A and B are shown apart, each in its own frame.
Chain A
Amino acid sequence: MGKKSNHLNECLERIRHGDDPVNCLKDYPEEADELRPLLETAVGITKFAMTAQPRPEFIAQTQGILAQEYYLAHYSWKAKIAGWLKPKVRLAKIATVSIVILALVFISGFSLSIVASEDAMPGEILYPIKLATEQVRLFFSFSDDGKVGYLTKYAETRIAEIIYAIEHEDDAHAEAALKRLERQLDTVGRIANPSNTPRAMAASEQESLILQEIENIVNESLKEINEKLLEIKALESEKKEEIIDRIEKAYAEAIESIESARAESSIIPYE
Protein backbone atom coordinates (compact mmCIF):
# COMPACT_ATOMS: atom_id res chain seq x y z
CA MET A 1 0.00 0.00 0.00
CA GLY A 2 2.95 2.33 0.73
CA LYS A 3 3.99 2.44 -2.91
CA LYS A 4 0.45 3.08 -4.18
CA SER A 5 -0.29 5.74 -1.56
CA ASN A 6 2.98 7.46 -2.52
CA HIS A 7 2.12 7.39 -6.23
CA LEU A 8 -1.41 8.64 -5.57
CA ASN A 9 -0.01 11.46 -3.46
CA GLU A 10 2.55 12.39 -6.09
CA CYS A 11 -0.19 12.64 -8.74
CA LEU A 12 -2.35 14.72 -6.39
CA GLU A 13 0.53 17.15 -5.79
CA ARG A 14 1.20 17.42 -9.52
CA ILE A 15 -2.49 18.11 -10.24
CA ARG A 16 -2.50 20.72 -7.48
CA HIS A 17 0.40 22.46 -9.17
CA GLY A 18 -1.36 22.52 -12.52
CA ASP A 19 -0.28 19.26 -14.16
CA ASP A 20 -2.75 17.16 -16.16
CA PRO A 21 -3.78 13.89 -14.40
CA VAL A 22 -3.15 12.04 -17.68
CA ASN A 23 0.57 12.94 -17.55
CA CYS A 24 0.94 11.48 -14.09
CA LEU A 25 -0.96 8.30 -15.01
CA LYS A 26 1.40 7.84 -17.94
CA ASP A 27 4.29 7.62 -15.47
CA TYR A 28 2.61 4.70 -13.70
CA PRO A 29 1.00 2.70 -16.55
CA GLU A 30 0.71 -0.51 -14.50
CA GLU A 31 -1.26 1.31 -11.78
CA ALA A 32 -3.16 3.68 -14.03
CA ASP A 33 -6.45 1.76 -13.93
CA GLU A 34 -6.39 1.77 -10.17
CA LEU A 35 -5.18 5.33 -9.73
CA ARG A 36 -7.54 6.98 -12.25
CA PRO A 37 -10.80 6.55 -10.27
CA LEU A 38 -9.04 7.58 -7.06
CA LEU A 39 -7.74 10.75 -8.69
CA GLU A 40 -11.22 11.49 -10.03
CA THR A 41 -12.64 11.12 -6.55
CA ALA A 42 -9.93 13.31 -5.03
CA VAL A 43 -10.48 16.04 -7.60
CA GLY A 44 -14.25 15.76 -7.02
CA ILE A 45 -13.74 16.20 -3.27
CA THR A 46 -11.53 19.24 -3.82
CA LYS A 47 -14.14 20.74 -6.13
CA PHE A 48 -16.80 20.08 -3.54
CA ALA A 49 -14.70 21.48 -0.71
CA MET A 50 -14.01 24.66 -2.64
CA THR A 51 -17.74 25.33 -2.81
CA ALA A 52 -17.78 25.66 0.95
CA GLN A 53 -16.76 29.27 1.46
CA PRO A 54 -17.35 31.47 4.47
CA ARG A 55 -19.88 34.23 3.85
CA PRO A 56 -18.30 37.64 3.14
CA GLU A 57 -20.45 39.18 5.92
CA PHE A 58 -19.13 36.62 8.35
CA ILE A 59 -15.53 37.37 7.35
CA ALA A 60 -16.02 41.11 7.77
CA GLN A 61 -17.93 40.82 11.04
CA THR A 62 -15.39 38.45 12.55
CA GLN A 63 -12.55 40.70 11.44
CA GLY A 64 -14.16 43.52 13.45
CA ILE A 65 -14.56 41.35 16.54
CA LEU A 66 -10.99 40.12 16.26
CA ALA A 67 -9.64 43.65 15.87
CA GLN A 68 -11.33 44.62 19.11
CA GLU A 69 -10.06 41.53 20.91
CA TYR A 70 -6.56 42.04 19.56
CA TYR A 71 -6.55 45.61 20.81
CA LEU A 72 -7.73 44.53 24.26
CA ALA A 73 -5.13 41.76 24.37
CA HIS A 74 -2.24 44.03 23.41
CA TYR A 75 -3.04 47.58 24.45
CA SER A 76 -5.39 47.58 27.44
CA TRP A 77 -3.82 48.38 30.85
CA LYS A 78 -4.45 44.77 31.91
CA ALA A 79 -2.58 43.52 28.86
CA LYS A 80 0.29 45.91 29.59
CA ILE A 81 0.56 44.68 33.17
CA ALA A 82 0.30 41.07 31.98
CA GLY A 83 3.00 41.76 29.38
CA TRP A 84 5.23 43.33 32.03
CA LEU A 85 4.65 40.48 34.47
CA LYS A 86 4.90 37.60 32.00
CA PRO A 87 8.71 37.42 31.68
CA LYS A 88 9.07 37.88 35.42
CA VAL A 89 6.55 35.15 36.18
CA ARG A 90 8.32 32.91 33.70
CA LEU A 91 11.68 33.60 35.36
CA ALA A 92 10.16 32.97 38.78
CA LYS A 93 8.73 29.67 37.54
CA ILE A 94 12.11 28.64 36.09
CA ALA A 95 13.86 29.64 39.31
CA THR A 96 11.36 27.72 41.47
CA VAL A 97 11.61 24.60 39.34
CA SER A 98 15.42 24.83 39.36
CA ILE A 99 15.52 25.19 43.15
CA VAL A 100 13.16 22.26 43.64
CA ILE A 101 15.23 20.11 41.26
CA LEU A 102 18.48 21.10 43.01
CA ALA A 103 16.95 20.39 46.41
CA LEU A 104 15.71 16.99 45.24
CA VAL A 105 19.10 16.17 43.74
CA PHE A 106 20.81 17.32 46.94
CA ILE A 107 18.43 15.41 49.22
CA SER A 108 18.46 12.24 47.14
CA GLY A 109 22.22 12.49 46.63
CA PHE A 110 22.73 13.09 50.34
CA SER A 111 20.42 10.19 51.26
CA LEU A 112 22.26 7.90 48.87
CA SER A 113 25.58 9.04 50.34
CA ILE A 114 24.35 8.23 53.83
CA VAL A 115 23.22 4.76 52.79
CA ALA A 116 26.47 4.18 50.91
CA SER A 117 28.56 5.48 53.81
CA GLU A 118 27.21 2.95 56.33
CA ASP A 119 29.78 0.38 55.26
CA ALA A 120 32.60 2.91 54.86
CA MET A 121 35.86 2.16 56.64
CA PRO A 122 38.56 4.52 57.99
CA GLY A 123 40.49 6.16 55.17
CA GLU A 124 37.63 5.86 52.68
CA ILE A 125 35.96 8.91 51.13
CA LEU A 126 32.55 8.31 52.70
CA TYR A 127 33.91 7.59 56.18
CA PRO A 128 33.53 11.21 57.42
CA ILE A 129 29.85 11.09 56.29
CA LYS A 130 29.39 7.92 58.32
CA LEU A 131 30.78 9.65 61.44
CA ALA A 132 28.69 12.77 60.82
CA THR A 133 25.54 10.66 60.38
CA GLU A 134 26.27 8.98 63.72
CA GLN A 135 26.51 12.38 65.38
CA VAL A 136 23.23 13.52 63.84
CA ARG A 137 21.42 10.37 64.98
CA LEU A 138 22.85 10.80 68.45
CA PHE A 139 21.80 14.45 68.53
CA PHE A 140 18.21 13.56 67.66
CA SER A 141 18.00 10.79 70.23
CA PHE A 142 16.35 12.41 73.24
CA SER A 143 16.32 9.62 75.82
CA ASP A 144 19.33 8.45 77.83
CA ASP A 145 18.81 4.79 77.01
CA GLY A 146 18.36 5.70 73.34
CA LYS A 147 21.68 7.56 73.33
CA VAL A 148 23.41 4.67 75.10
CA GLY A 149 21.91 2.29 72.55
CA TYR A 150 23.49 4.28 69.74
CA LEU A 151 26.81 4.75 71.55
CA THR A 152 27.26 1.03 72.24
CA LYS A 153 26.30 0.22 68.66
CA TYR A 154 28.91 2.73 67.47
CA ALA A 155 31.46 1.20 69.84
CA GLU A 156 30.86 -2.17 68.17
CA THR A 157 31.26 -0.50 64.78
CA ARG A 158 34.57 1.00 65.94
CA ILE A 159 35.86 -2.44 66.83
CA ALA A 160 35.02 -3.65 63.32
CA GLU A 161 36.92 -0.63 62.01
CA ILE A 162 39.88 -1.38 64.26
CA ILE A 163 40.01 -4.94 62.87
CA TYR A 164 39.83 -3.60 59.32
CA ALA A 165 42.60 -1.06 59.99
CA ILE A 166 44.88 -3.65 61.59
CA GLU A 167 44.32 -6.03 58.68
CA HIS A 168 45.39 -3.22 56.36
CA GLU A 169 48.38 -2.44 58.59
CA ASP A 170 46.99 1.00 59.18
CA ASP A 171 47.91 1.68 62.79
CA ALA A 172 46.97 5.35 62.63
CA HIS A 173 43.36 4.66 61.74
CA ALA A 174 43.21 1.78 64.21
CA GLU A 175 44.36 4.16 66.95
CA ALA A 176 41.86 6.85 65.85
CA ALA A 177 38.99 4.33 65.91
CA LEU A 178 40.10 3.10 69.32
CA LYS A 179 40.13 6.63 70.72
CA ARG A 180 36.61 7.21 69.34
CA LEU A 181 35.46 4.01 71.01
CA GLU A 182 36.96 5.15 74.33
CA ARG A 183 35.23 8.52 74.04
CA GLN A 184 31.91 6.93 73.18
CA LEU A 185 32.01 4.54 76.13
CA ASP A 186 33.14 7.39 78.36
CA THR A 187 30.03 9.25 77.25
CA VAL A 188 27.95 6.22 78.20
CA GLY A 189 29.45 6.43 81.69
CA ARG A 190 28.74 10.15 81.92
CA ILE A 191 25.16 9.69 80.79
CA ALA A 192 24.62 7.16 83.55
CA ASN A 193 26.49 9.16 86.19
CA PRO A 194 27.16 12.76 85.17
CA SER A 195 30.25 14.20 86.92
CA ASN A 196 29.91 11.45 89.49
CA THR A 197 27.49 13.63 91.45
CA PRO A 198 24.07 12.61 92.70
CA ARG A 199 21.33 13.66 90.30
CA ALA A 200 18.06 15.12 91.30
CA MET A 201 16.29 12.39 89.43
CA ALA A 202 18.62 9.65 90.54
CA ALA A 203 16.38 8.56 93.34
CA SER A 204 13.27 8.26 91.24
CA GLU A 205 11.92 4.89 90.30
CA GLN A 206 11.92 5.89 86.67
CA GLU A 207 15.60 6.79 86.83
CA SER A 208 16.43 3.43 88.37
CA LEU A 209 14.68 1.70 85.52
CA ILE A 210 16.58 3.78 82.98
CA LEU A 211 19.90 2.94 84.66
CA GLN A 212 18.93 -0.69 84.64
CA GLU A 213 18.16 -0.45 80.94
CA ILE A 214 21.46 1.31 80.24
CA GLU A 215 23.35 -1.39 82.10
CA ASN A 216 21.57 -4.09 80.12
CA ILE A 217 22.46 -2.36 76.84
CA VAL A 218 26.14 -2.12 77.73
CA ASN A 219 26.24 -5.73 78.93
CA GLU A 220 24.60 -6.88 75.70
CA SER A 221 27.19 -4.92 73.73
CA LEU A 222 29.94 -6.51 75.78
CA LYS A 223 28.66 -9.95 74.82
CA GLU A 224 28.56 -8.88 71.18
CA ILE A 225 32.17 -7.71 71.16
CA ASN A 226 33.65 -10.83 72.72
CA GLU A 227 33.77 -12.56 69.38
CA LYS A 228 35.35 -9.50 67.83
CA LEU A 229 37.96 -9.36 70.56
CA LEU A 230 38.87 -12.97 69.69
CA GLU A 231 39.21 -11.83 66.10
CA ILE A 232 41.62 -9.12 67.19
CA LYS A 233 43.53 -11.67 69.21
CA ALA A 234 43.99 -13.76 66.07
CA LEU A 235 45.47 -10.85 64.11
CA GLU A 236 49.15 -10.45 63.52
CA SER A 237 49.81 -7.22 65.29
CA GLU A 238 52.17 -6.13 68.01
CA LYS A 239 49.57 -3.84 69.47
CA LYS A 240 46.67 -6.29 69.59
CA GLU A 241 47.06 -6.97 73.32
CA GLU A 242 47.15 -3.26 74.09
CA ILE A 243 44.07 -2.67 71.92
CA ILE A 244 42.11 -5.45 73.61
CA ASP A 245 43.11 -4.13 77.03
CA ARG A 246 41.96 -0.63 76.19
CA ILE A 247 38.62 -1.82 74.80
CA GLU A 248 37.96 -3.96 77.87
CA LYS A 249 39.00 -1.10 80.12
CA ALA A 250 36.65 1.32 78.33
CA TYR A 251 33.74 -1.07 78.78
CA ALA A 252 34.68 -1.77 82.39
CA GLU A 253 34.77 1.95 83.21
CA ALA A 254 31.39 2.49 81.58
CA ILE A 255 29.88 -0.36 83.60
CA GLU A 256 31.53 0.95 86.77
CA SER A 257 29.94 4.38 86.26
CA ILE A 258 26.54 2.80 85.71
CA GLU A 259 26.85 0.62 88.79
CA SER A 260 27.99 3.62 90.80
CA ALA A 261 24.95 5.60 89.69
CA ARG A 262 22.66 2.70 90.56
CA ALA A 263 24.27 2.41 93.99
CA GLU A 264 23.75 6.15 94.59
CA SER A 265 20.16 5.90 93.48
CA SER A 266 19.51 3.28 96.14
CA ILE A 267 20.97 5.37 99.03
CA ILE A 268 19.27 8.67 98.24
CA PRO A 269 15.84 8.70 99.77
CA TYR A 270 12.89 8.98 97.47
CA GLU A 271 11.33 12.45 97.65
Chain B
Amino acid sequence: MGLSAKNQTVEVDDRVEGLVSRAQSGEQDAFTLLYREYVAQIYRYIYLRVGQSAQAEDLTQEVFLRVIKNIGNYRYRGRPFVSWLFRIAHNLVIDYYRQMKKEGTVFFIDSISITVDDDPAVTVEQDMEMLEIKQAIDKLPPRQREVISLRFGSELSIAETARAIGKTEGTVKKLQYEGIIKLRKLMEKWGRRVTT
Protein backbone atom coordinates (compact mmCIF):
# COMPACT_ATOMS: atom_id res chain seq x y z
CA MET B 1 0.00 0.00 0.00
CA GLY B 2 1.34 3.41 -0.95
CA LEU B 3 2.00 6.18 1.55
CA SER B 4 -0.99 8.26 0.45
CA ALA B 5 -3.31 5.26 0.75
CA LYS B 6 -1.97 4.66 4.25
CA ASN B 7 -2.58 8.31 5.17
CA GLN B 8 -6.12 8.01 3.85
CA THR B 9 -6.71 4.94 6.01
CA VAL B 10 -5.41 6.76 9.09
CA GLU B 11 -7.70 9.73 8.33
CA VAL B 12 -10.71 7.43 7.96
CA ASP B 13 -9.82 5.63 11.19
CA ASP B 14 -9.53 8.93 13.08
CA ARG B 15 -12.85 10.17 11.72
CA VAL B 16 -14.60 6.90 12.55
CA GLU B 17 -13.09 6.71 16.03
CA GLY B 18 -14.33 10.28 16.59
CA LEU B 19 -17.83 9.24 15.58
CA VAL B 20 -17.65 6.20 17.85
CA SER B 21 -16.59 8.34 20.77
CA ARG B 22 -19.53 10.70 20.18
CA ALA B 23 -21.96 7.79 19.76
CA GLN B 24 -20.71 6.36 23.05
CA SER B 25 -21.50 9.60 24.83
CA GLY B 26 -25.08 9.64 23.56
CA GLU B 27 -24.97 11.58 20.27
CA GLN B 28 -27.52 9.85 18.13
CA ASP B 29 -26.43 11.67 14.96
CA ALA B 30 -22.96 10.21 15.30
CA PHE B 31 -24.41 6.73 15.57
CA THR B 32 -26.56 7.32 12.48
CA LEU B 33 -23.47 8.40 10.54
CA LEU B 34 -21.69 5.22 11.58
CA TYR B 35 -24.67 3.18 10.46
CA ARG B 36 -24.81 4.90 7.08
CA GLU B 37 -21.06 4.46 6.69
CA TYR B 38 -21.08 0.71 7.19
CA VAL B 39 -24.55 -0.64 6.45
CA ALA B 40 -23.81 -1.55 2.82
CA GLN B 41 -20.46 -3.15 3.65
CA ILE B 42 -21.98 -5.22 6.43
CA TYR B 43 -24.89 -6.22 4.25
CA ARG B 44 -22.61 -7.36 1.41
CA TYR B 45 -20.42 -9.34 3.74
CA ILE B 46 -23.42 -11.12 5.25
CA TYR B 47 -25.08 -11.59 1.89
CA LEU B 48 -21.98 -13.28 0.48
CA ARG B 49 -21.88 -15.51 3.54
CA VAL B 50 -25.55 -16.51 3.81
CA GLY B 51 -26.63 -16.13 0.19
CA GLN B 52 -30.12 -14.84 0.90
CA SER B 53 -31.10 -11.19 0.85
CA ALA B 54 -33.90 -11.50 3.44
CA GLN B 55 -31.57 -13.20 5.92
CA ALA B 56 -28.82 -10.75 5.08
CA GLU B 57 -31.16 -7.85 5.93
CA ASP B 58 -32.25 -9.40 9.22
CA LEU B 59 -28.69 -10.14 10.26
CA THR B 60 -27.49 -6.69 9.19
CA GLN B 61 -30.12 -5.10 11.40
CA GLU B 62 -29.13 -7.39 14.26
CA VAL B 63 -25.47 -6.37 13.87
CA PHE B 64 -26.33 -2.72 14.46
CA LEU B 65 -28.68 -3.52 17.33
CA ARG B 66 -25.77 -5.30 18.98
CA VAL B 67 -23.57 -2.31 18.29
CA ILE B 68 -26.02 -0.09 20.19
CA LYS B 69 -26.04 -2.53 23.07
CA ASN B 70 -22.27 -2.90 23.27
CA ILE B 71 -20.78 0.31 21.95
CA GLY B 72 -20.12 1.46 25.52
CA ASN B 73 -17.72 -1.46 25.92
CA TYR B 74 -15.75 -0.72 22.75
CA ARG B 75 -12.22 0.59 23.35
CA TYR B 76 -9.78 1.31 20.53
CA ARG B 77 -6.69 -0.51 21.93
CA GLY B 78 -5.13 -0.78 18.47
CA ARG B 79 -8.15 -2.58 17.04
CA PRO B 80 -10.20 -0.20 14.87
CA PHE B 81 -13.96 0.05 15.09
CA VAL B 82 -14.42 -1.53 11.67
CA SER B 83 -12.71 -4.74 12.85
CA TRP B 84 -14.86 -4.77 15.98
CA LEU B 85 -17.97 -4.25 13.86
CA PHE B 86 -17.15 -7.05 11.45
CA ARG B 87 -16.30 -9.30 14.35
CA ILE B 88 -19.90 -8.88 15.52
CA ALA B 89 -21.14 -9.67 12.00
CA HIS B 90 -18.83 -12.70 11.80
CA ASN B 91 -20.14 -14.05 15.12
CA LEU B 92 -23.74 -13.53 14.03
CA VAL B 93 -23.16 -15.41 10.78
CA ILE B 94 -21.62 -18.28 12.71
CA ASP B 95 -24.61 -18.31 15.08
CA TYR B 96 -26.92 -18.25 12.07
CA TYR B 97 -25.26 -21.28 10.47
CA ARG B 98 -25.23 -23.10 13.78
CA GLN B 99 -28.95 -22.47 14.15
CA MET B 100 -29.69 -23.54 10.58
CA LYS B 101 -27.68 -26.71 11.03
CA LYS B 102 -29.58 -27.46 14.22
CA GLU B 103 -32.89 -26.97 12.46
CA GLY B 104 -31.76 -28.92 9.37
CA THR B 105 -32.66 -26.02 7.10
CA VAL B 106 -31.90 -26.33 3.38
CA PHE B 107 -30.25 -23.26 1.87
CA PHE B 108 -31.66 -21.64 -1.21
CA ILE B 109 -29.43 -19.29 -3.09
CA ASP B 110 -31.00 -16.13 -4.40
CA SER B 111 -30.45 -15.52 -8.07
CA ILE B 112 -29.44 -11.96 -8.64
CA SER B 113 -30.30 -9.87 -11.60
CA ILE B 114 -28.22 -6.97 -12.75
CA THR B 115 -28.49 -4.73 -15.71
CA VAL B 116 -25.25 -3.20 -16.86
CA ASP B 117 -25.77 -3.20 -20.57
CA ASP B 118 -28.56 -2.16 -22.92
CA ASP B 119 -28.12 -5.23 -25.08
CA PRO B 120 -30.44 -7.98 -23.68
CA ALA B 121 -28.07 -10.73 -24.81
CA VAL B 122 -25.18 -9.17 -22.90
CA THR B 123 -27.35 -8.71 -19.82
CA VAL B 124 -28.38 -12.37 -19.80
CA GLU B 125 -24.77 -13.37 -20.24
CA GLN B 126 -23.68 -11.18 -17.33
CA ASP B 127 -26.53 -12.43 -15.12
CA MET B 128 -25.44 -16.00 -15.70
CA GLU B 129 -21.84 -15.13 -15.02
CA MET B 130 -22.70 -13.40 -11.75
CA LEU B 131 -24.87 -16.28 -10.65
CA GLU B 132 -22.03 -18.67 -11.29
CA ILE B 133 -19.61 -16.50 -9.33
CA LYS B 134 -22.04 -16.59 -6.46
CA GLN B 135 -22.40 -20.35 -6.68
CA ALA B 136 -18.62 -20.71 -6.81
CA ILE B 137 -18.22 -18.51 -3.72
CA ASP B 138 -20.74 -20.71 -1.92
CA LYS B 139 -18.55 -23.71 -2.67
CA LEU B 140 -15.47 -22.26 -0.98
CA PRO B 141 -14.37 -23.59 2.40
CA PRO B 142 -15.73 -21.32 5.20
CA ARG B 143 -12.44 -19.52 5.99
CA GLN B 144 -11.69 -18.72 2.33
CA ARG B 145 -15.28 -17.63 1.80
CA GLU B 146 -15.09 -15.36 4.80
CA VAL B 147 -11.88 -13.71 3.60
CA ILE B 148 -13.25 -13.31 0.07
CA SER B 149 -16.45 -11.80 1.49
CA LEU B 150 -14.56 -9.33 3.66
CA ARG B 151 -11.98 -8.39 1.06
CA PHE B 152 -14.18 -8.12 -2.05
CA GLY B 153 -17.65 -7.75 -0.58
CA SER B 154 -16.85 -5.28 2.17
CA GLU B 155 -13.56 -4.01 0.74
CA LEU B 156 -11.71 -4.33 4.01
CA SER B 157 -7.95 -4.08 3.94
CA ILE B 158 -5.79 -7.09 4.74
CA ALA B 159 -5.09 -5.67 8.21
CA GLU B 160 -8.78 -5.01 8.93
CA THR B 161 -9.74 -8.48 7.68
CA ALA B 162 -7.04 -10.05 9.85
CA ARG B 163 -8.33 -8.23 12.93
CA ALA B 164 -11.96 -9.03 12.13
CA ILE B 165 -11.38 -12.79 11.91
CA GLY B 166 -8.59 -12.98 14.47
CA LYS B 167 -5.89 -14.24 12.07
CA THR B 168 -2.52 -12.89 10.99
CA GLU B 169 -2.16 -10.79 7.85
CA GLY B 170 -0.04 -13.56 6.29
CA THR B 171 -2.82 -16.09 6.87
CA VAL B 172 -5.38 -13.73 5.34
CA LYS B 173 -3.22 -13.26 2.22
CA LYS B 174 -2.82 -17.03 1.94
CA LEU B 175 -6.57 -17.65 2.31
CA GLN B 176 -7.29 -14.92 -0.23
CA TYR B 177 -4.82 -16.42 -2.72
CA GLU B 178 -6.15 -19.95 -2.26
CA GLY B 179 -9.74 -18.74 -2.46
CA ILE B 180 -9.19 -16.92 -5.74
CA ILE B 181 -7.39 -19.91 -7.27
CA LYS B 182 -10.25 -22.19 -6.24
CA LEU B 183 -12.84 -19.80 -7.63
CA ARG B 184 -10.93 -19.58 -10.89
CA LYS B 185 -10.77 -23.36 -11.15
CA LEU B 186 -14.48 -23.73 -10.44
CA MET B 187 -15.33 -21.16 -13.08
CA GLU B 188 -13.09 -22.90 -15.61
CA LYS B 189 -14.64 -26.23 -14.74
CA TRP B 190 -18.04 -24.79 -15.53
CA GLY B 191 -16.68 -23.50 -18.84
CA ARG B 192 -16.77 -19.88 -17.75
CA ARG B 193 -14.20 -17.18 -18.02
CA VAL B 194 -14.76 -14.16 -15.83
CA THR B 195 -14.88 -10.98 -17.81
CA THR B 196 -13.53 -7.85 -16.24
Q: Are A38 and B181 in contact (CB under 8 A)?
A: yes
Taking CB atoms, residues of chain B closer than 8 Å to A37 are 184
Q: Which of B60-68, B90-98, B117-125 contacts A (4 or more CB under 8 A)?
A: B60-68
Contact A45 B60 (CB under 8 A): no
B78 proximal to A (CB < 8 A): no
A67 & B28 in contact (Cβ 8 Å cutoff): yes
25 CB < 8 A contacts A-B: A1-B177, A2-B173, A4-B177, A5-B173, A6-B173, A17-B2, A17-B5, A39-B196, A41-B194, A44-B196, A45-B137, A45-B183, A49-B48, A49-B149, A52-B44, A52-B48, A52-B53, A54-B56, A54-B57, A59-B39, A62-B39, A62-B61, A65-B65, A66-B31, A66-B35
Give min CB distance, A134 to chain B, whole Å: 52
Q: Does B18 contact A (CB under 8 A)?
A: no
Inter-chain contacts of A63 with B (CB < 8 A): 32, 35-36
Of the listed residues A1, A9, A48, the one surrounded by the most CB atoms of chain B closer than 10 A to its CB is A48
Closest 8 CB pairs of A and B: A44-B194, A5-B177, A54-B43, A49-B153, A43-B196, A5-B173, A48-B133, A45-B152
CB contacts (< 8 Å) of A107 on chain B: these are none
- Asked if A51 is an interface residue, CB under 8 A from chain B, the answer is yes
Q: B100 at the A/B interface (Cβ < 8 Å)? A: no
Among B157, B180, B195, the one with the most A-chain Cβ atoms within 10 Å of its Cβ is B180
Q: How far is the CA of A69 from the CA of B61 in the complex (A)?
A: 11
Is the Cβ of A40 less than 8 Å from the Cβ of B196? Answer: yes
Interface string of A11-54 (1 = CB under 8 A from B): 01100110001000000000000000111111111111111111
User: When chains A and B are docked, how far (Å) is the Cα of A8 from the Cα of B181?
Assistant: 11
Per the CB 8 Å criterion, the residue count for chain B at the interface is 54
Tell me whether A70 and B1 are in contact in the complex, defined as CB-CB below 8 angstroms, given that A5-B174, A49-B48, A54-B60 are known contacts: no
Q: Does A74 interact with chain B (Cβ within 8 Å)?
A: yes
A44 and B195 contact, CB distance less than 8 A: yes
User: What is the distance, in angstroms, from B186's C-beta to the closest C-beta of chain A?
Assistant: 10
Asked if residues B47 and A42 are in contact (CB atoms below 8 Å), the reply is no
Q: Kindly state whether residue A84 has any CB partner on chain B within 8 Å.
A: no
Residue of A nearest to B149 (CB): A49
Q: A9-B173, A62-B61 are in contact. Are A44 and B69 (CB under 8 A)?
A: no
14 other A-B residue contacts (CB within 8 Å) besides A45-B183, A54-B60: A2-B170, A2-B173, A12-B151, A17-B2, A38-B181, A40-B195, A43-B194, A44-B129, A45-B133, A49-B44, A52-B44, A55-B53, A63-B36, A66-B68
**Does B61 lie within 8 Å of A65, measured CB to CB?**
yes
Contact A49 B152 (CB under 8 A): yes
Q: How many A-B residue pairs have CB under 8 A?
A: 129
Residues of B within 8 A of A43 (CB): 194, 196
Contact among B26, B72, B184 for A41, CB-based, below 8 A: B184
List residues of chain A with CB under 8 Å of any chain B CB.
Answer: 1-2, 4-6, 8-9, 12-13, 16-17, 21, 37-55, 58-59, 62-63, 65-67, 69-71, 73-75, 86
Residues in A whose Cβ lies below 8 Å from that of B43: 52-54
Given A45-B137, A66-B68: A53 and B40 interface contact (C-beta under 8 Å)? yes
B10 at the interface (CB under 8 A from A): no
Q: Are A51 and B114 in contact (CB under 8 A)?
A: yes
65-97 of chain B: CB within 8 A of chain A: 65, 68-69, 72
Q: Which residues of B contact A74 (CB under 8 A)?
A: 26, 28
In angstroms, how far is the closest chain A Cβ from the Cβ of B60? 7
Whether A42 pairs with B152 at a CB distance below 8 angstroms is yes
| Residues of chain A lying within 8 A (CB to CB) of residue B134 | 48
Residue on A nearest B172 in the bound complex, by CB: A9
